[in-house]
Amino acid sequence: MHSPVQLIRSKRHGDTRGWFTEVYSEPKFTTLGITCTFVQDNHSLSVPAFTLRGLHFQTPPKGQDKLVRCIRGRIFDVAVDIRKGSPTYGHWVGAELSAENGHQLFIPIGFAHGFMTLEPDCEVTYKCSDIYAPDHDGGIRWDSVGIDWPLPDGTAPELSAKDKVQPTLAEFDSPFPYDGRPLAPFA
């Protein structure tokens, strides 16, 4: 059984011209247990270093699986288990995604997602399994989960007005059911 959140390390094929990689292949992802259909692609630019976006999700019935990658710069990308009844509720995993390493993070429905830029001018793209639905938009405070964000001492993250006032994890009443797959560290 695969962990619900997965770090995808795509193979790059390179020569003197550069490199090529498959970002998404339905048959290959199916072997990893990722069987959702992606219907929307998003692209963001974060100009200042230490911009923090998150922790976000969409509630049922408009939940979103996400496949996230950084195409310029470096980010610290995280997923937090918010499935009611999960033995790993409130636990998180994180990984550095960068244009250089080409890694991607798959975040299924039932997990809050967020990232922090580690340098200026970062661009992030991600696929979603459902369209944006403002009435189902949700979040929890970035600092209420115990995530070890790689912030330099004395540095506060750049936050949106919305992210500054999200409820804490303790205040959140999760509508997401546990599916029997606990969150596991990345191999």
CA distances from 103 to 6, 27, 51, 60 (A): 10, 18, 20, 28
Closest of 47, 24, 46 to residue 37, by C-alpha: 24
Give me the active site residues, please.
56, 126
Residue given tokens 């979040």 in the structure block: 139
Distances (CA, A) of 59 to 64, 82, 182, 187: 8, 11, 20, 29
The DSSP symbol for 120 reads: S
